[in-house]
């Protein structure tokens, strides 16, 4: 573990620092080394899909398609440590509750299915069949299937996710809370309405052609390191890379490619962003409106700016938007974006001058109250110059988990369409439930209200990833049964229902053998490419089951003879599952044949071909006002005696969501600690404090509930005044359950109104 220090990071992102970190990741985890061979198999044909992020691979034949953080994800799974029955015999659950999240995961891979015994307050081994019988007993005893919740985290592969939704719908509910609800849900909502498709419209080939790439609310140096290779290449060939981010992110400034021998040999590095707009947290909608207003002004001044042909042929709603933009005041746009009028013109001009442009976005856009509106503004901006559905141009939401997009594609959705349910009925012969189910926030409410009694989770860490932590813990503890399919121990297993199961599964790096032989699974990346993934490591324990096997055996135990599906036959050979996926979804035609092609295939994205599967048959310009009544606005109007900050919660370089690999955040210069607040030096002075002082953070939602997170160190940082940043999940207790994105229900974890008080005051 590093010594606690704050030290400005002078190096480029990636480069030698990254290679050193890769080596350390493997050594620390004592990964079965094989490590080297393991890494060479990540994102390779005949290897496994990297469990890190959802960024696609350019060349499935190059031998180094991994990155530092992918290596950490692989090393975390391939660790030689084991959390077996001996560990659980040693600690009560109450003991484990006192341990950190880092400690829990650091115990290593789970080896046996375990059941909670209330009389000893310990988890004890249970036979798989007994575990499935316990689940079946609970599910079949519920008076209404809607009292059960089925969570999915985005690492689940297509085959497991598909089988899971078949089982859950045959059982009788659409209660599918999933990590998407906390992530890119607003993207799906916004784009479906606007373009008739909820996915990105670009491929990597477009990245090679774009004259400008805009990166909004994303930290690729940490979360999608392989994306830097694309951005650097764009920069090198003279394209503009324009970042919008309140924080000065090192990974958006300079980058040394560990896969570039020359840069490594010379300790060189390349710039990433050509332009960096440090707007205010939540200021993107106003900033984009400013860019559009600029375009319109230039057009009105007689320049050829707009793509009239596109607007006339492909869209509706432009006149209303133009009218709204003309009447919008520059002063308001500048105030709410935090950029000057001149900067808004400059950003608009950068966009205007590009023959083709891609706009990328991440959590800095989606985790706000007005996320859906902001994303539709991105769509408007693209359409004004016809930058969608042609080479080098389009929308690029950058997804998180490696298969989060695929899970949605194969049916993990709490609001399924009628057409999809009809297909499910025709293919599987049961009548699926039509009533829409609960998303993550509604699921938490249902548990709190006693309306949901069983939570089953396919991966993830529900107790740590969700907002309003202590409410969630209360909710989980009220359940009759909580079940987690998982690879490692985490908080969700320790904060459990009256009865509880931990079901350990194979990871993506491991060999999966079923009755029909060696199996592979499929995943879909952020650009709709679907390909096969097959592990190469021996399973962490002989007692592990694959995720499809766990689902099938649970389904068989629960539904018994009532089921129309031959569950155990399906999992003998995953080709059979894929045949069913093909039967339900036309876009998977010839699925089993097409995954044999190295690199796989791209699913159809209608908007990429300028086909708009919307009600009007056209793409829509949509008009939204600049929000002036967010929780921060309201808090600023009511709190008089001190400054209200807008807190955004983000990831460090050494974590994968709730999994903490280490205590460093190298590019931001933070070492040996995580409880820090990034804050403008002027704001520290205004508070009458010093850099390095300890503070407690208190949320001000105005609902009378005290929400706080204590003991954070102030770190002066290049961030606008009034905005601060800190890491998730430590700050989740500050996020009010009721504060969600309009029309998408996503917790607003990037805009939390807070005040800072001296620690312990």
Ligand X SMILES: Nc1nc2c(c(=O)[nH]1)N[C@H]1C(S)=C(S)[C@@H](COP(=O)(O)OP(=O)(O)OC[C@H]3O[C@@H](n4cnc5c(=O)[nH]c(N)nc54)[C@H](O)[C@@H]3O)O[C@H]1N2
Residues making contact with ligand X (CB under 6 A): 52-53, 69, 105, 153-155, 179, 182-183, 216-219, 222-223, 244-247, 249, 281-282, 284, 362-364, 367, 400-401, 458-462, 465, 485-488, 490, 505, 507-508, 547, 648-651, 655-659, 728, 731-732, 735, 749-750
**Residue 396 contacts residue 202 (beta carbons within 8 Å):** yes
Closer residue to ligand X in complex, CB, 453/750 = 750
Q: What is the 3-state secondary structure (H, E, C) of 245-258?
A: CCCCCHHHCEEECC
Q: Which residues on adjacent β-strands are paired with residue 600? A: none
**Partner in contact with 461, chosen from ligand X, Mo ion, none, beta carbon below 5 to 8 Å by kind:** ligand X
- Of 185 and 260, nearer to Mo ion (C-beta) is 185
Identify which range of 182-190, 374-382, 591-599, 635-643 contacts Mo ion by CB under 5 A. 182-190
Q: Which is nearer to ligand X, 281 or 383 (CB)?
A: 281
Q: Which is nearer to ligand X, 215 or 530 (CB)?
A: 215
For the bound state, the minimum distance from the C-beta of residue 458 to Mo ion, rounded and expressed in Å, comes to: 15
Q: Rounded to an integer, what distance in angstroms lies between the CA atom of residue 689 and that of residue 645?
A: 15
Site track 712-741 with Mo ion (rule: CB under 5 A), x = hit? ------------------------------
CB of 143 to ligand X, least distance (A): 28
> What number of chain residues touch Mo ion (CB under 5 A)?
2
Q: Which is nearer to Mo ion, 400 or 535 (CB)?
A: 400
Q: Does 744 bind Mo ion (CB under 5 A)?
A: no
Burial of 564 (0-12, 13-18, 19+ CB in 10 A): exposed
* CA 455/CA 237 separation, integer angstroms: 51
Alpha helices in 316-461 (DSSP H): 318-327, 330-337, 341-353, 363-366, 371-384, 404-409, 418-428, 440-448
What is the enclosing helix (H) or strand (E) of 465?
A: helix 462-465
| Other CB atoms within 10 Å distance of the CB of residue 735 | 26
Distance CA 539, CA 36 (A): 18
What DSSP line would sit under 39-108, residue for residue?
A: HHHBTSTTSB--SSB----S-TTSS----HHHHHHHHHHS-S-EE-HHHHHH--HHHHHTS-HHHHHHT-
Smallest gap from Cβ 739 to ligand X, in A, equals 11
Q: Which is nearer to ligand X, 65 or 486 (CB)?
A: 486
Least separation in angstroms between residue 167's CB and ligand X is 15
Residue 591 Cα to chain centre, angstroms? 26
User: Of ligand X, Mo ion, none, which one does residue 485 interact with (CB within 5 to 8 Å by kind)?
Assistant: ligand X
Q: Looking at 39, 161, 183, 413, which residue binds Mo ion (CB under 5 A)?
A: 183
Smallest distance, Mo ion to C-beta of residue 665, A? 18
Supply the minimum distance, in Å, between the C-beta of residue 654 and ligand X: 8
Interface segment toward Mo ion; rule CB under 5 A; list 42-50, 183-191, 623-631, 739-747: 183-191
Calpha distance 733→707 (Å, rounded): 6
For residues 252 and 274, give the distance between their C-alpha atoms in angstroms, rounded to a whole number.
10
Sign of the CA dihedral running 364, 367, 372, 373: negative
Cβ closest to ligand X, residue 56 vs residue 389: 56
Residue 358 to residue 387: CA distance in whole angstroms: 7
488 binds, among Mo ion, ligand X, none (CB under 5 to 8 A by kind): ligand X
Give whichever of 306 and 372 is closer to Mo ion, judged by the CB atom: 372
The 3-state DSSP class for residue 498 equals: coil
* Shortest Å distance, C-beta 285 to ligand X: 9
Helix (H, G, I), strand (E, B) or coil at 29: coil
Smallest gap from residue 431 Cβ to ligand X (A): 29
| Near Mo ion in 380-419, by CB under 5 A | 400
Binds 508, which of Mo ion, ligand X, none (CB < 5 to 8 A, cut-off by type)?
ligand X
Degrees, nearest 5: CA angle 604-606-608: 95
Task: State which of positions 633-652 bind Mo ion (CB under 5 A).
Answer: none
Q: Dihedrals φ, ψ of 409, to 5°? A: -55, -40
220 binds Mo ion (CB under 5 A): no
Q: Point out the residue whose Cβ comes nearest to Mo ion.
A: 400
Q: What is the DSSP string of 724-737?
A: EEEETTTTGGGS-T
629 neighbors 702 (Cβ within 8 angstroms): no
Q: Which two tokens stand for residue 391?
A: 């080479």
CB-CB contact of 196 with 607 (8 Å): yes
User: CB 67 → ligand X: shortest distance, Å?
Assistant: 9
Question: Which lies closer to ligand X via its Cβ, residue 582 or residue 654?
Answer: 654
Smallest distance from ligand X to CB 390, Å: 25
Pairing of strands 659-660, 670-671: unpaired
Distance between CA 395 and CA 610 in Å, rounded?
13
* Site for Mo ion contains 460 (CB under 5 A): no
| Minimum CB distance to Mo ion, residue 400 (Å) | 3
3-class DSSP assignment, residue 287: helix
Nearer to ligand X, 433 or 507 (CB): 507
Closer residue to Mo ion (CB): 317 or 400: 400
CA 159 from centroid of its chain's CA atoms:
20
Residue span 342-381 as binding mask against Mo ion, x where in contact by CB under 5 A, dash where not: ----------------------------------------
Q: How far is the CB of 391 from ligand X (least distance, A)?
A: 26
Binding partner of 364, given ligand X, Mo ion, none, CB within 5-8 angstroms per partner class: ligand X
Which of ligand X, Mo ion, none does residue 227 bind to, with CB < 5 to 8 Å depending on kind?
none
Task: Report the nearest approach of Mo ion to the CB of residue 744 (Å).
Answer: 14
Q: Which is nearer to ligand X, 29 or 315 (CB)?
A: 29
Q: Give me the helix-helix angle, 158-171 and 574-584, nearest 10°.
A: 70
- Which residue lies nearer to ligand X by CB, 49 or 206? 49
* Binding region for Mo ion (CB under 5 A): 183, 400
């Amino acid at each position: 573990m590093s010594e606690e220090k704050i030290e400005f990071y002078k190096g480029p992102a990636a480069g030698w620092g990254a290679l050193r970190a890769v080596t350390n990741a493997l050594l620390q985890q004592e990964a079965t080394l094989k490590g080297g061979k393991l890494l060479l198999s990540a994102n390779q044909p005949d290897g496994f899909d990297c469990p890190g992020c959802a960024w696609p691979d350019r060349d499935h034949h190059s031998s180094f398609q991994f990155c530092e953080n992918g290596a950490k994800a692989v090393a975390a799974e391939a660790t030689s440590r084991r959390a077996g029955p001996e560990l659980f015999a040693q600690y009560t659950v109450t003991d484990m509750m006192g341990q950190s999240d880092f400690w829990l995961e650091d115990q290593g891979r789970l080896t046996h299915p375990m059941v909670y015994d209330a009389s000893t307050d310990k988890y004890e081994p249970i036979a798989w069949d007994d575990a499935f019988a316990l689940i079946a007993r609970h599910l079949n005893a519920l008076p209404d299937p809607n009292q059960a919740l089925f969570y999915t985290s985005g690492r689940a592969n297509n085959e497991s996710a598909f089988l899971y939704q078949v089982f859950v719908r045959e059982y009788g509910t659409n209660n599918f809370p999933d990590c998407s609800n906390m992530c890119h849900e607003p993207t799906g909502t916004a784009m479906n309405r606007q373009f008739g498709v909820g996915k990105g419209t670009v491929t990597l080939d477009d990245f090679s052609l774009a004259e400008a790439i805009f990166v909004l609310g994303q930290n690729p140096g940490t979360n999608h390191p392989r994306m830097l290779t694309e951005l650097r290449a764009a920069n090198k060939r003279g394209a503009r890379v324009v970042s919008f981010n309140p924080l000065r992110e090192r990974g958006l400034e300079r980058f040394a490619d560990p896969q570039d021998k020359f840069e490594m040999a010379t300790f060189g590095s390349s710039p990433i962003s050509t332009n960096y707009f440090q707007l205010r947290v939540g200021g993107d909608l106003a900033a984009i409106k400013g860019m559009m207003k600029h375009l319109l002004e230039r057009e009105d001044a007689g320049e050829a700016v707009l793509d009239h042909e596109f607007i006339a042929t492909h869209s509706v709603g432009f006149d209303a938007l133009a009218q709204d933009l003309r009447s919008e005041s520059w002063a308001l746009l500048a105030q709410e974006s935090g950029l000057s009028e001149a900067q808004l013109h400059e950003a608009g001009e950068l966009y205007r001058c590009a023959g083709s442009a891609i706009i990328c976005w991440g959590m800095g856009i989606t985790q706000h109250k007005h996320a859906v509106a902001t994303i539709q503004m991105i769509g408007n901006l693209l359409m004004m110059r016809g930058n969608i559905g042609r080479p080098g141009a389009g929308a690029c939401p950058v997804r998180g988990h490696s298969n989060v997009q695929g899970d949605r594609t194969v049916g993990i959705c709490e609001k399924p369409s009628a057409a999809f349910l009809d297909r499910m009925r025709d293919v599987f012969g049961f009548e699926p439930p039509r009533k829409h189910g609960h998303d993550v926030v509604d699921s938490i409410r249902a548990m709190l209200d006693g309306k949901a009694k069983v939570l089953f989770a396919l991966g993830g860490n529900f107790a740590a990833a969700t907002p309003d932590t202590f409410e969630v813990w209360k909710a989980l503890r009220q359940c009759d049964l909580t079940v987690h399919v998982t690879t490692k121990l985490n908080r969700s297993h320790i904060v459990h229902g009256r009865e509880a199961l931990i079901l350990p599964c194979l990871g993506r790096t491991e060999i999966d053998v079923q009755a029909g032989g060696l199996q592979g699974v499929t995943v879909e990346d952020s650009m709709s490419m679907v390909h096969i993934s097959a592990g190469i490591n021996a399973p962490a324990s002989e007692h592990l089951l694959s995720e499809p096997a766990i689902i099938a055996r649970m389904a068989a135990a629960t539904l018994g003879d009532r089921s129309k599906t031959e569950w155990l036959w399906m999992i003998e050979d995953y080709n059979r599952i894929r045949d069913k996926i093909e039967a339900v979804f036309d876009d998977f035609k010839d699925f089993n044949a097409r995954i044999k092609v190295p690199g796989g295939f791209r699913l159809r994205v209608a908007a990429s071909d300028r086909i708009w599967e919307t009600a009007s048959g056209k793409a829509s310009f949509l008009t939204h006002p600049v929000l002036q009544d967010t929780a921060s606005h309201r808090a600023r109007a009511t709190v008089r005696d001190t400054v209200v900050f807008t807190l955004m919660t983000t990831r460090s370089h050494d974590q994968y969501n709730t999994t903490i690999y280490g205590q460093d955040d190298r590019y931001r210069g933070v070492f040996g600690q995580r409880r820090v607040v990034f804050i403008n030096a002027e704001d520290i002075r205004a508070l009458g404090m010093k850099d390095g002082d300890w503070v407690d953070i208190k949320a001000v939602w105005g609902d009378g509930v005290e929400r706080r997170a204590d003991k954070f160190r102030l770190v002066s940082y290049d961030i606008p005044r009034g905005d601060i940043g800190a890491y998730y999940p430590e700050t989740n207790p500050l996020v009010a359950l009721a504060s969600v994105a309009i029309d998408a229900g996503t917790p607003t974890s990037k805009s939390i109104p807070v005040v800072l008080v001296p620690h312990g005051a």
